[in-house]
Amino acid sequence: MDLRILFENGDMVAVEKPQGMPAQPDRTGDADLLSLLSAQMKQELGLVHRLDRPVGGIMVFAKTKQAEAALSKMMQAGGWRKSYLAVLWGTLEEKSGTWTDYLFKNARTNLSEVVSASRKGAKKAILHYQVLAETIWNEQPLSLVEITLETGRHHQIRVQTSHHGAPIWGDRKYNTLQPMRGVGNMALWSWKLEGKWEKQKEGFSIRSLPSDMPFSLFSEKLGEL
């Protein structure tokens, strides 16, 4: 398959990750983005950051070992602004705001949960959100939300949206409100990456918009972004 390249320079390449594809080789042995992109570009690429397997959208890879170290450092330091689009199963009372929670990852189950700040191993998780549109589908309220992460915790967006009463459409791990039969992909998409590479004088803004169900229910609003 030919992957959609969104941005490229001498040090990095940004590509659109298909939903359901692992970002890198894993124990399933399924085709992964890192291997496919390296083969397509005919060069070995380095992993800069990760996206959960069900999540689609923008991912960045490094072209050299030096760039891999520098880009990873910038990502971890919050030097780049990453924004996501999500369709939530429900509505939020406040149409914009910030959630600050403490998350604990259970290594045995590979699940995270919101816990007390005093719990040993708990990590602070902060995200900012804005409701872009709302609709009713089969008598079920749905919300299109833009989310910007201030921290990058395990399953952070998925855990926090669920904890605040509006889990992500199709999230088989954290959405206990929605029947999962025939729902398709999980509706979480990495849609915008903004930042500045130290070798460039000007910043960059990379965008990628989803189009499948349930995002298609909000096609008019997505067309305005």
Residues 205 and 17: their CA atoms lie apart, in Å, by: 17
Please indicate whether residue 52 is annotated as part of the active site: yes
Max CA pair span of the chain: 52
Grouping H, G, I as helix, E, B as strand and the rest as coil, residue 33 is helix
Buried b (16+ CB within 10 A) or exposed e, 73-85: ebbeeeebebbbb
- Which pair of tokens denotes residue 122? 């708990």
Instruction: Report the amino acid identity of residue 45.
Output: L
- The enclosing H or E element of 90 equals none
Residue 89: partners with Cβ closer than 8 Å, 6 or more residues away:
140, 142, 166, 167, 168, 169, 175, 177, 178
Choose the catalytic residue: 32, 52, 101, 171.
Answer: 52
Q: Which residues are catalytic?
A: 52
